[in-house]
Structure 1
Amino acid sequence: MQEKSLKVLEYEKILERLAGCARSNLVKDQILKLRPFDDINYIREELYETAAMVDVIRKNGNIDLFGLFDLTEIVAYIRKNGILDPGELLKVLDLLRVSEYLKDYGKNIEDRKISDIFSRISINDFLKNEIDRSIINEEEIADSASSTLRNIRRQKQRKEADIRIKLNSYITNSKYDDALQDKVVSVRDGRYVVPVKTNKRALIGGIVHDKSSSGNTLFIEPGAIVELNNQLRDLEIKEEDEIRRILDRLSRLAQGFDVELLENQKLIARIDFLQAKSRFAIENEYSLPIITDEKKVDLKSARHPLLPGRVVPIDVRIGGDYTTLIITGPNTGGKTVSLKTVGLISAMAQTALFIPAYEGSKLCVFDDIFLDIGDTQSIEMSLSTFSASLTNIVDILKNSTENSLVLLDEIGSGTDPVEGAALAISILNSLTQKKVMTFSTTHYSELKYYAVETSGVMNASVEFDVDTLSPTYKLEIGTPGKSNAFEISKRLGLPYEILNNAKNLIGDDTKNINKILAEIEEDKKEIEDKNK
């Protein structure tokens, strides 16, 4: 499907909102790369599993996924006998924890396909418990990781205590008051030292490990504790070796579970993806679309999903007796929004998402969506509105098929009205003959006549309330839009002489069509009143 069409329809914003319902970055990234599918069987299968997951969540509660990382590189590394660091092992632990949680959650799922996803998850309590008791955080290994490590650390603590006692004998001895820059013990290069004035170095013999930026202080390891420091360093090396042995052991345990780790990652990602689509549907009160084999769109109370506030729903029907729908009505009346609603909802359905319309809404699968809407006009090419629009339409006529969806906004505008209307009729006639499903908006009265007289073409309109001088945004199929220019002008106080003169200037055909439309509207209102 064309990227430029998806961009104008703001499809990416739908994906961003859907990604916000995912728990893991792994699946968020996957969602942002989604594009509409054209395989009807795949779309139906995806929608079935999404609907099944909606039922699962409504019955059993939200799935509190956590800790899903991409372990592909980690598994590849341990397969080469690599040793994982604590942070990487914690990612493995998170996957094992969420695997255990999901395995338990899946026990109450009745739907066979959804239950199967959960049941295929593998758990490994031994590996989970070993990592859990061994790793505190990304920087720290627990004493309980091994008895050897615990013993080494106890010896270190005793040795450090011995060193501090020895150094305190320097700090607390008044003999060294004049030699010490400060009565503190610090560490330089892993060795315990005391700060000594440069000119008093001879009073405290030992090894110089550092000096201050001013050069007035030397950090000296007194000779009396050199051997103690050496012993401490030996213990530190033993500690590092033991930690490496522990990490190696845990890595080898993970290596023995490598296939299951990758399979779990895939299954959990699938669960996260389905629960994201389900939450997206539930939170927005969207419904399951019916994907039909017929060439038909039948949307019941459809709403544009990105419009804020209260949105007036529209009913849209096309297919069967007609494949071209011509929408007329006032500016800001909702004509362009109607086009975008149909386009965006079609893209959502083909992405196997629930849609903002009532249950029972039907859509067919399009091989592509082509559009010419104001947003797509190419300023960069320095084309006029008409030229840019025509460039798009030439591409549409060339590449669209009878399985495509075409959305045309204000077709033929931007040039001489007579020529523009003639071109618009000719273009729509070509698309109608090819049986391309086409939605077009226009202000041209000639297109209303064309829709009435041409097989396969239907009029539609967006309502306008002349009493409030505002659009109702309601889409009416089968009725062309009636011009309200004179009525609006009258209500806004245009002098009677000017208004009457304007009425006399319009042709008989226009007068007749306006009279017919007025009669249709009166008949419709009378029927609605009787129904009430």
Structure 2
Amino acid sequence: MNEKALKTLEYNKIIEKLSSFAGSGLGKALCNSLLPVSDIEEIKKAQRETSDALSRILRKGSLGFYGVHDIRASLKRLEVDSSLSAQELLHLSSVLDATARIRAYGLKDSGDSDSTLKETDSLEEMFRSLEPLTLLNNEIKRCIISEEEIADDASPALKSIRRSLKLTNDKIHDQLNSIVNSSGSKTMLQENIVTMRNGRYCIPIKQEYRSQFPGMIHDQSSSGSTIFVEPMAVVKLNNDLRELEIKEQQEIERILEALSEQAGQHSEKLYNNIKVLPELDFIFAKATLSKQMKGIEPLFNDKGIVNIKKGRHPLIDAKKVVPIDITLGKDFNLLVITGPNTGGKTVSLKTVGLFTLLGQSGLHIPAFDGSELAVFEEVYADIGDEQSIEQSLSTFSSHMTNTVSILEKANYQSLVLFDELGAGTDPTEGAALAMAILNYLHKRHVRTMATTHYSELKVYALTTEGVSNASCEFDVETLRPTYRLLIGIPGKSNAFAISSKLGLPSHIIEDAQNLIGVQEKSFEDVISDLEKNRLEIEREKEEIAALREQAKNLQVKLEQQNDKLASAKDRIMAEANEEARKVLQEAKDVADRTIKNFNKWGSEGGFGKEMEHERGKVRDLLSSTEGKLAIKGKQKSSKTPKPGEFKIGDAVHVNSLGLKGTVSTLPNAKGDLYVQMGILRSQVNISDLELIDEPDITGPNITKSGSGKIKISKALHISPEVNLIGKTVDEALSELDKYLDDAYLSHLPQVTVIHGRGTGALRNAVHSHLKKTKYVKSYREGAFGEGGQGVTIVEFKQ
């Protein structure tokens, strides 16, 4: 990509931003060397890496690349078996620390450094290839404390030497302190201190006592009044100290050599680390830049189609920049942008050019999802920084020189950008030149964008196939540009409107309008009409879009409600079916059990308390079951029948049970009577009954007489006698009443009631009850051999 276009489109400013996000010197170097490429596969790969890094940043947070030093020179020294210094080894350790940290960032969150990577993106292999070399790193840290200090525990020999050094130092200090503090030496000392000269411990002695103080002279003061003497008592100790220091240095060199040898065994992995780390730093810097400018990964094509949606120039303040939509290369290859100065025409050019450079460099662009860029081999731009109306000839010549160079090099794989093409010379000639240049590029299918003030170019764009007008919108009321780019509509100069708003007298404006040719005036009027129609259409489109969105939201809500209702319906039906199944199954089980018990009791020769208790249980169960059913039985009639309306054999409906039956007994004083419902006979109050007209009642052992009365024959075996002995009067009468009903319905001619003699109270109660029973023909005490006064023989009416 040519250097002039990179500079003109301010690509270098984006690179400076990118470099600031890199954490290592090597990463910054990669950022600074980034240039656009024209291989579409290479571009897509770089874009995918940026997107994957951005995805990781958004999910896990930023990744720091501090501590990544350039150790390539040290690695070359290791290749020739050279020993590294403590500083170089510490830099190597720092790189390994960064390697471990960065690799852990790329692994699963489980904390297992040996686990496979969580992501399966384009960065996976790079993270996987990093080698922390933990053993080597730990060994370096164990041995080297800082660039100037090696740990005592780096080796046993070094520890022993340093222990000897300390002991020797202590001996020297003890000897010197003894000399300094002795009474015989105090008069000879210049100062009561111990000092170092040439790496040896000395004492400052006055010059006049030079011959009296035994020792080696190492230095004297500038005045000559003081000499620095190494006492003979510590000369040997100083010699020993010096030898130990030499041994210490030799041992340190041996330790550094051993560490270097160990590092050299991993030179290939270290080379890979120092290659991958800067690449990751560079990629994550691109992702951080994308995050900062809210960028997206653009789509790419090799067909020369540009479709930028809501593009924002990255060098304009995000709070002030106005997003623009730009298309080029699909329906038209040449776009002519017109409009007033400072209206955003140049920004539109630079946005397209800069986005192209950024995209082909693997950088995201600040635009809306779905934006598409074409891959161009070259981008040419002739964009002047000066926006003055008056341009000198030299400026025109400079622009024309650049234009000539562009025309020589541009082809169908190029993007050409012209700002104010043909300006700076006579308007007629300038317009003609601009039209000829654009026509030349258009015939060669070069994607071109140009800004202009010339009306001739507006007409050219309107009348030439494959060429389109565009304009930067201008608000005449506020005298400010909106910076919106309108494709397909030529721009209006608005000079008269602006002048009028600024206070230019109307008569001058009228004179100016009269000076304009008829064709020019008509053309400007057409543009004005187009602008008015566009604004009206845009308002209508916005209203339609709002209504459509509202309708869509309502449709979604209705669909959601329908889904909820359908789901609730299915759930309720399922629950109801399940409940009904349980109720039916329960009823079936109860019916089976009841019939089984009735048959058992019948075969044993009589109904007793068990039968009445069973009947009560069935009645209670049916009452409770009614509340569970979704569909209730027939509702109770609002009109309550009178006791006199019931006759034995009448067909009735038991409302609480939802069953039909036949009246077996007449109502008593409380309005209770017995109703036969199939094989079930139960006591019911008349308030729960409804007389029905039932010409044909079907059921087991039920027949209808010619008079409409129903005769019921008992299917069960009824005993010819009932034993009431041991029961209270109330219990006995209740059982007797039920027994007499069953016996009568079973067509027994007579039965025996056993009540015993006792006090006679039970016998009298039985006789009183028999006297009230309508279907009893007669009753008498038992004869000899029948039970005597302990029984009563009852004869039924036939």
Q: TM-score category by the smaller chain?
A: over 0.9
- What corresponds to 1:33 in structure 2? 33
The one-letter amino acid paired with 1:247 is L
In 1, are the aligned partners of 2:143 and 2:151 still within 8 Å (CA)?
Answer: yes
Q: Could you say if the C-alpha distance between residues 194 and 9 of structure 1 is closer, same or farther in structure 2, counting changes exceeding 3 Å?
A: farther
In 1, are the aligned partners of 2:393 and 2:425 still within 8 Å (CA)?
Answer: no
In 2, are the aligned partners of 1:197 and 1:218 still within 8 Å (CA)?
Answer: yes
- What corresponds to 2:43 in structure 1? 43
2:441 to 416, 431, 452: 431
Q: Could you say if the C-alpha distance between residues 498 and 191 of structure 1 is closer, same or farther in structure 2, counting changes exceeding 3 Å?
A: same
C-alpha deviation, 1:491, in angstroms:
1.1
- What corresponds to 1:487 in structure 2? 497
- What corresponds to 2:231 in structure 1? 222
In 2, are the aligned partners of 1:328 and 1:462 still within 8 Å (CA)?
Answer: yes
In 2, are the aligned partners of 1:99 and 1:268 still within 8 Å (CA)?
Answer: yes
C-alpha deviation, 1:409, in angstroms:
0.8
- What corresponds to 1:325 in structure 2? 335
- What corresponds to 2:452 in structure 1? 442
C-alpha deviation, 1:10, in angstroms:
1.5
C-alpha deviation, 1:299, in angstroms:
0.7
In 2, are the aligned partners of 1:324 and 1:458 still within 8 Å (CA)?
Answer: yes
In 2, are the aligned partners of 1:460 and 1:479 still within 8 Å (CA)?
Answer: yes
Q: Could you say if the C-alpha distance between residues 401 and 180 of structure 1 is closer, same or farther in structure 2, counting changes exceeding 3 Å?
A: farther
1:403 to 413, 428, 444: 413
Q: Quick one: distance in 1 between partners of 2:302 and 2:215?
A: 90
C-alpha deviation, 1:199, in angstroms:
4.3
Q: Could you say if the C-alpha distance between residues 271 and 481 of structure 1 is closer, same or farther in structure 2, counting changes exceeding 3 Å?
A: same
C-alpha deviation, 1:298, in angstroms:
0.7
2:196 to 187, 194, 217: 187
Q: Quick one: distance in 2 between partners of 1:34 and 1:369?
A: 16
Q: Secondary structure at the match of 1:464?
A: strand
- What corresponds to 1:528 in structure 2? 538
Q: Secondary structure at the match of 2:216?
A: strand
C-alpha deviation, 1:376, in angstroms:
9.9
Alpha carbon RMSD of aligned pairs, Å?
1.8
What does residue range 125-144 of structure 1 map to in structure 2 within 5 Å? 125-144=134-153
- What corresponds to 1:23 in structure 2? 23
- What corresponds to 2:509 in structure 1? 499
In 2, are the aligned partners of 1:205 and 1:222 still within 8 Å (CA)?
Answer: yes
- What corresponds to 1:392 in structure 2? 402
- What corresponds to 2:278 in structure 1? 269
In 2, are the aligned partners of 1:298 and 1:363 still within 8 Å (CA)?
Answer: yes
| Mean Cα deviation higher: 511-520 or 187-196 | 187-196
Is 1:168 the counterpart of 2:177? The answer is yes
C-alpha deviation, 1:328, in angstroms:
0.9
**Could you report, residue by residue, the CA deviation over 1:326-385 in whole angstroms, capped at 9, with x for unpaired residues?**
1111111111111111111110000011111111110011111111111499xxxx9711
| Mean Cα deviation higher: 382-391 or 23-32 | 382-391
- What corresponds to 1:421 in structure 2? 431
- What corresponds to 1:91 in structure 2? 91
The one-letter amino acid paired with 1:363 is L
Q: Quick one: distance in 1 between partners of 2:128 and 2:294?
A: 29
Q: Could you say if the C-alpha distance between residues 138 and 383 of structure 1 is closer, same or farther in structure 2, counting changes exceeding 3 Å?
A: farther
Q: Secondary structure at the match of 1:192?
A: strand
In 2, are the aligned partners of 1:36 and 1:351 still within 8 Å (CA)?
Answer: yes
**Could you report, residue by residue, the CA deviation over 1:430-461 in whole angstroms, capped at 9, with x for unpaired residues?**
11111111111111111111111111211111
C-alpha deviation, 1:138, in angstroms:
1.1
Q: Quick one: distance in 2 between partners of 1:214 and 1:455?
A: 101
In 2, are the aligned partners of 1:295 and 1:364 still within 8 Å (CA)?
Answer: yes
1:117 to 98, 117, 126: 126
In 2, are the aligned partners of 1:52 and 1:111 still within 8 Å (CA)?
Answer: no
The one-letter amino acid paired with 2:540 is K
**Could you report, residue by residue, the CA deviation over 1:51-78 in whole angstroms, capped at 9, with x for unpaired residues?**
1222222223322333212222111101
Is 1:251 the counterpart of 2:267? The answer is no
Q: Secondary structure at the match of 1:357?
A: coil
Is 1:373 the counterpart of 2:383? The answer is yes
In 2, are the aligned partners of 1:369 and 1:404 still within 8 Å (CA)?
Answer: yes
In 1, are the aligned partners of 2:83 and 2:260 still within 8 Å (CA)?
Answer: yes
Structure holding more helix per residue: 1
The one-letter amino acid paired with 1:204 is F
In 1, are the aligned partners of 2:200 and 2:230 still within 8 Å (CA)?
Answer: yes
C-alpha deviation, 1:230, in angstroms:
0.3
In 2, are the aligned partners of 1:349 and 1:355 still within 8 Å (CA)?
Answer: yes
Q: Could you say if the C-alpha distance between residues 517 and 152 of structure 1 is closer, same or farther in structure 2, counting changes exceeding 3 Å?
A: same
Q: Quick one: distance in 2 between partners of 1:304 and 1:81?
A: 53
In 1, are the aligned partners of 2:296 and 2:368 still within 8 Å (CA)?
Answer: yes
Q: Secondary structure at the match of 2:477?
A: coil
C-alpha deviation, 1:214, in angstroms:
4.3
Q: Secondary structure at the match of 1:482?
A: coil
The one-letter amino acid paired with 1:110 is E
Q: Quick one: distance in 1 between partners of 2:30 and 2:212?
A: 68
Q: What is the percent sequence identity of the aligned residues?
A: 46
Q: Quick one: distance in 2 between partners of 1:212 and 1:366?
A: 79
The one-letter amino acid paired with 2:125 is D
Q: Could you say if the C-alpha distance between residues 529 and 106 of structure 1 is closer, same or farther in structure 2, counting changes exceeding 3 Å?
A: closer
Instruction: Point out which structure has higher relative CO (alpha carbons under 8 A, 6+ apart).
Output: 1
The one-letter amino acid paired with 2:249 is E
In 1, are the aligned partners of 2:470 and 2:489 still within 8 Å (CA)?
Answer: yes
- What corresponds to 1:456 in structure 2? 466
Q: Secondary structure at the match of 1:384?
A: helix
Q: Secondary structure at the match of 1:224?
A: helix
In 2, are the aligned partners of 1:345 and 1:355 still within 8 Å (CA)?
Answer: yes
**Could you report, residue by residue, the CA deviation over 1:293-349 in whole angstroms, capped at 9, with x for unpaired residues?**
221111111111112342111111111221111111111111111111111111000
| Mean Cα deviation higher: 111-120 or 275-284 | 111-120
Q: Could you say if the C-alpha distance between residues 211 and 351 of structure 1 is closer, same or farther in structure 2, counting changes exceeding 3 Å?
A: farther
Q: Secondary structure at the match of 2:219?
A: strand
Q: Quick one: distance in 1 between partners of 2:225 and 2:361?
A: 72
What does residue range 200-219 of structure 1 map to in structure 2 within 5 Å? 200-219=209-228
The one-letter amino acid paired with 2:373 is L
**Could you report, residue by residue, the CA deviation over 1:61-107 in whole angstroms, capped at 9, with x for unpaired residues?**
32233321222211110121111001100111112222222333322
Q: Highest Rg: 1 or 2?
A: 2
Q: Secondary structure at the match of 1:220?
A: strand
Q: Quick one: distance in 2 between partners of 1:445 and 1:211?
A: 96
TM-score, length basis structure 1: 0.96
TM-score, length basis structure 2: 0.64
The one-letter amino acid paired with 2:78 is I
The one-letter amino acid paired with 1:444 is Y
Q: Could you say if the C-alpha distance between residues 215 and 516 of structure 1 is closer, same or farther in structure 2, counting changes exceeding 3 Å?
A: farther
In 1, are the aligned partners of 2:30 and 2:279 still within 8 Å (CA)?
Answer: no
Unaligned 5+ segments in structure 2 are 109-117, 544-798
**Could you report, residue by residue, the CA deviation over 1:463-504 in whole angstroms, capped at 9, with x for unpaired residues?**
111111111111111111112111111111111221111111
C-alpha deviation, 1:207, in angstroms:
2.3
Q: Secondary structure at the match of 1:397?
A: helix
Q: Secondary structure at the match of 2:107?
A: helix
The one-letter amino acid paired with 2:396 is F
Q: Quick one: distance in 2 between partners of 1:290 and 1:213?
A: 81
Q: Secondary structure at the match of 1:374?
A: coil
- What corresponds to 2:2 in structure 1? 2
Q: Could you say if the C-alpha distance between residues 178 and 503 of structure 1 is closer, same or farther in structure 2, counting changes exceeding 3 Å?
A: farther
Unaligned 5+ segments in structure 1 are none
What does residue range 352-367 of structure 1 map to in structure 2 within 5 Å? 352-367=362-377
In 2, are the aligned partners of 1:176 and 1:203 still within 8 Å (CA)?
Answer: no
Q: Quick one: distance in 2 between partners of 1:296 and 1:350?
A: 14
| Mean Cα deviation higher: 133-142 or 161-170 | 161-170
C-alpha deviation, 1:112, in angstroms:
4.4
Q: Secondary structure at the match of 2:123?
A: helix
What does residue range 340-355 of structure 1 map to in structure 2 within 5 Å? 340-355=350-365
- What corresponds to 2:296 in structure 1? 287
| Mean Cα deviation higher: 442-451 or 113-122 | 113-122
Q: Quick one: distance in 2 between partners of 1:14 and 1:60?
A: 25
In 1, are the aligned partners of 2:52 and 2:121 still within 8 Å (CA)?
Answer: no
